[in-house]
Structure 1
Amino acid sequence: MTNLLIVDDEKEVGNFLSHLFTSKGYYVKVANSGKEFSSIDFTRNHFHAAMIDLKLPDTDGLSLLQHLKRQQPGCKAVIMTGYSTIKTAIDAMKLGASDYIEKPFDDIDLLETQIDQLLISTITSTQQHINDLASEVGFIVGQNEGMNQLIQTAYKVARKNVNVLIEGETGTGKEVLSRFIHQASQRSHESFIGVNCGAISESLLESELFGHEKGAFTGATQQRKGLFEIASKGTLFLDEIAEASHAIQVKLLRVLETREFMRVGSESILRTNTRLVAASNENLHEAVQQKKFREDLFYRLNVVHLKIPPLRNRKEDIPLLIYHFLQRHANIGVTFSDDAMEVLQNYDWPGNVRELSNFVTRVITLSDSNDATITADHLPLFNHAAVMSATIEPTKQTAAKKQESHFEIYLQRWVNDILVLFEQENEIDLEKVLAQVKELESQVGKAFILRTLKDTLGNRKETAKRLQITMRKLRYLLNEKKEGGSKA
């Protein structure tokens, strides 16, 4: 027999649910307070599922949920809540609740279906469904505990018609996670449309989101539907939401509050049922405190908050990610040796998963053979110690050879840093980039001098001659003489 626990301070609700599920053949235990819940002997009473009200007169539902999950981890819990406490219900799901139900129960058939499906489904089948959906959209979860908690929460809230805010550094996979949420939702058969709020000017973004009428502005030669209209029954993904202007933020707030909007140049009100998923690589709470982002819009977006950890905090997943990226290239047999994989796991990946993906693509593109094996010897940029051990025994290296290795590491690291800067979508400090170029010029000059000094056995005059520079320039590049210093 299926055992069901109901915790609700309203006796009428408890009696109704008890009658409803008893008639379906369930054994039902009802507790009308936290005190009655505490009196239950969980060593003798095993429950398959529990329905817990969030607000009780002598305690709160979250505390009871945590106690229940400690006593019976396998018990599937459903939180009963009013709309005003949906955010707390989401927090409950992060603590282990399987679902939440809004009160009052307007649709009894839906209530029965939710509980029946919860009891019929197994952990194995649910997890397999999550894995299948994640694989389908290309979201690699891996073994990291934080990522697994993230995907479980995302899966639970996906079926609810609530807004989601995803935060994470550039390149962590915010759009891919939003696609997972769409695929796991009841809207999966409808449109998923994404737009980068930081890549479009304010006027164009307004037209993109809300549409425009013919003649609304110069170049508006015909009527155009906006994304809120096109994705009315689907999911709209707003990337880099922090980059939206205050005027756009006001219009977004109105849509979220009323579900109504107007095309640019129109006075007709249109309605939308779009499910909104927003993303930002900035901390929106801090942006609110700095008056860069509207507080009321933030709370409308932040019904469910998901934060993707950076790759440096989930390095155990790097081998799986690399394997996934390699599989995207047909007929490629490129592999990574164990020492190479160790080197890559010791690197911090400031560009996150996107940088790792670009790195794998570059490796495949530059490989001499489709069946190449990448070793630590090919990766001086990532780990100096690995290069030293992979090229030659340290005890046999000369000082000059070490200097060459240092330069090789510096050069490839410089190239990688510049590529990361070039690929990122945020504002770029060009002066800082030009300073890095100047530093590169200095290091390149010094490297050529040191190599030539080795070849000439330290003969500076011969070195200067081979490099076609003066002795003054030689000393200058070696930082032995500052510009405007004493004579040579």
Structure 2
Amino acid sequence: MKHILIMDDEIEVGNFFRHLLEEKGLQVSVATNKNDFSTLISEITFDLALIDLKLPDSNGIELLKLLKNSQQTCKAIIMTGYSTVKTAVEALKNGANDYIEKPFDDLDQLEKTLDKHLNIEPIANQEETNQLASKLGFIIGQNKEMNELAKLAEKIAKKNINILIEGETGTGKEVLANFIHNVSLRYNQPFIRINCGAIPETLLESELFGHEKGAFTGAVKLKKGIFEIANNGTLFLDEIGEASLGIQVQLLRVLETGEYYRVGGESVRKTNTRIIAATNRDLAKSVEEKTFREDLLYRLDVVKLNLPPLRKRREDLELYLKFFLKKVNASHLSFSQECLDIMRNYEWPGNVRELFNIVKRAVALMDEDESIITPTFLPEKILHNSGQQPELQYSEDDLESYLSNWTRHILTMWDRNKDIQLDDVLYSVKELEKQVGRSFVLKSLKNHVGDRKKTADSLKITPRQLKYLLNEKGKV
């Protein structure tokens, strides 16, 4: 028989759950204070604990930690009011399996939640989740931070709360939002994405809320807005930090009341759309700069998910490469070990999006009879920044050797019987300019026995320019 622990200082709550659960053939113990709770978990092994978040002599987070230290396999559900939902999400990060909101108005949903955590098979469910994530391109892999993120995302997906995703450009915020939508109860409803920074304010208002016929010049017919189309589904607002203050006011109204007006309309319309917003900005800083509304941030930031940059999940680089090769119908290709080593040393400023572009580029350059992608097919910037650019060995004292290698490298690109990206050529030209200038600076500095003022005078540049050149073009 499964044993359930109820921790709530309200006796009525304990009696309610005792009646509800004992009818299901479950054994129930009730604690009303921290001492009772500590005693019970030291004497009895529980399958599930329901813990109130706000208590007179303690708090749910503290008791959750006590439970997990004593009984790691016991599942935990936090009970909370709406005003403390954000704290309940913090409990999920500390090991809680779920949370339920007081008062318990929807008893059917409450029973479904309890039954799920009493009967669920974690391993099978996790495998199913991982398969769905992979299918959507949400690579979880071995990275600890990504695994914690995925677990939290899955837990909150089934809650009707708004989510804010933060992360650098190209980290995969839309992919994460799509994953959340697909593991939520709204999975069979629309998932719609809109970039708040890519559409002018006047058009964005019409896109979001729709417009009536004749509302403005060019409005020749009625148009439904995204909030109407995505009703009961999920709306992904990408680059929310780029939205104008006017749009922010209207978004706030929708988030607070679920109500909006079409442009040019007079009747109030209702929507049950879930909002997932994303940004690569620091919105707290934007609030300080008066470019983002604090009340809107409060409404969006119920749950915040931070996507780590690709450089912090290098251990899963091969998983991304295999996924992208499959995506471009090139599963028969593979990257050489040398290629992998070079890419692991690269910082990936463009993150996952940049990696995908590099995969597409390499596949496009490959001949039909080739199956291994070698460093030859990587862009110049990766070869250079990784410190592994075999074609251009450079010695400070041997400008002639460098020019010879550079010329041979350019001619090789010229003679290659396949398309060459102009960016690669121009990058090599910039490298030539940099290295030649550096050689002349170092030669002059050597002639003047390290005297920077005399070196600058001889080169007809200022000491400040010399300092810049030395800093930019290498160490002396």
TM-score under structure 2 normalisation? 0.83
Q: Distance in 1 between matches of 2:435 and 2:55?
A: 73
1:27 is aligned to 27
Deviation of 1:76 after TM superposition, in Å, equals: 1.0
> What is the aligned partner in structure 1 of residue 6 from structure 2?
6
Q: Distance in 2 between matches of 1:103 and 1:219?
A: 49
8 A contact 1:346–1:383 mirrored in 2: no
Shift in Å, 1:398: 7.8
Contact 1:235 1:275 in 2 (8 A): yes
Aligned partner of 1:2: which letter?
K
Contact 2:393 2:405 in 1 (8 A): no
Query: Contact between 2:41 and 2:67, CA under 8 Å: does it hold in 1?
Result: no
TM-aligned CA distance change 1:445 to 1:344, over 3 Å: closer
Q: Counterparts of 1:108 and 1:446 in 2: how far apart (Å)? A: 70
Q: Quick check: 1:166–1:306 contact (8 Å CA) kept in 2?
A: yes
Please say if residues 332 and 371 of structure 1, whose CA atoms lie closer than 8 Å, have aligned partners that are also in contact: no
Say whether residues 1:82 and 2:86 are aligned partners. Answer: no
| Corresponding residue of 1:288 | 287
Q: 2:190 matched to 1:191?
A: yes
**Local SS of the residue matching 2:304:** strand
Q: CA deviation at 1:339?
A: 2.2
**In structure 2, what is the equivalent of residue 309 of structure 1?**
308
**Contact preservation (8 Å) 1:335, 1:371:** no
For residues 86-118 of structure 1, give each alpha carbon's deviation from its aligned partner in whole angstroms, at most 9, with x where no partner exists.
111111111111111111111223222211111
Shift of 1:73: 1.7
Distance 1:198 1:6, change over 3 A: same
| Structure 2 counterpart SS, 1:39 | helix
**For residue 309 of structure 1, what is the amino acid of its counterpart?**
P
3-state DSSP of counterpart to 1:165: strand
Find the counterpart in structure 2 of residue 486 from structure 1: none
Question: For the structure 1 residues 107 and 448, does the alpha-carbon distance in structure 2 shift closer, same or farther, using more than 3 Å as the test?
Answer: closer
Match of 1:326 in 2: 325
Match of 2:469 in 1: none
Tell me what 2:341 maps to.
Answer: 342
Q: Deviations over 1:9-35 (max 9, x none)?
A: 001111221222122111212111112
Tell me the secondary structure at the aligned position of residue 96 of structure 2: coil
Describe the SS at the equivalent of 2:61: helix
Match of 1:218 in 2: 217
Mapped to 2, the partners of 1:394 and 1:440 lie a distance apart of 14
Q: Secondary structure at the match of 2:277?
A: strand
1:103 maps onto 2:96 in alignment? no
| Cα root mean square deviation, aligned | 3.1
Residue 471 of structure 1: aligned partner: none
Structure 2 unaligned residues grouped into runs of 5+:
414-419, 439-456, 462-476
Contact 1:340/1:374 (<8 A) preserved:
yes
Q: Partner amino acid for 1:362?
A: R
**Which structure 2 residues correspond to residues 428-467 of structure 1 after superposition, within 5 A?**
443-444=431-432
1:213-252 CA-to-partner distances (Å, cap 9, x unmatched) read: 1111110000101001111111111110111100000011
Once the two structures are overlaid, the 10-residue window that deviates more, 373-382 or 132-141, is 373-382
Per-residue deviation at 1:385?
A: 9.4
Matched, 1:373 2:372: yes
Distance 1:287 1:394 in 2: 45
Deviations 1:16-55 (A, max 9, x none): 212221221112121111121122353x421111100001
Q: One-letter code of the match for 1:35?
A: N
**1:246, 1:260 → 2: CA distance?**
18
Using a 3 Å threshold, how does the CA distance of structure 1 residues 38 and 401 change in structure 2: closer, same or farther?
A: farther
Which residue of structure 2 aligns with residue 433 of structure 1? none
Q: Rate the CA distance shift 1:441–1:110 in 2: closer, same or farther, 3 A.
A: closer
Where does residue 454 of structure 1 map in the other structure?
none
1:141-181 per-residue CA deviation (whole Å, 9 max, x = no partner) reads: 11111111111111111101111111111000011111111
The change in CA–CA distance for 1:406 and 1:381 in structure 2 (over 3 A counts) is farther
Matches of 1:405 and 1:34 in 2, distance apart? 74
Normalised TM-score (structure 1) = 0.81
The 3 A distance-change label for structure 1 pair 445 and 255 is: closer
Secondary structure of 2:194's match? strand
C-alpha displacement at 1:122, in angstroms? Answer: 1.9
Contact 2:208 2:225 in 1 (8 A): yes
Give 1:195 shift: 0.5
Measured in 2, the distance between the counterparts of 1:41 and 1:332 equals: 52
Distance 1:443 1:480, change over 3 A: farther
Structure 1 residues without counterparts, runs of 5 or longer: 420-436, 451-478, 484-488
1:274 is matched with which residue? Answer: 273
- Using the alignment, how far apart are the partners of 2:320 and 2:306 within structure 1? 19
CA contact 1:376–1:386 (8 Å) conserved in 2: no
State the percentage of identical aligned residues: 50
Q: Does 1:40 align with 2:40?
A: yes
CA contact (8 A) 1:209 1:227 kept: yes
| SS of aligned partner of 1:18 | helix
Structure 1 residue 447: deviation in Å?
7.1
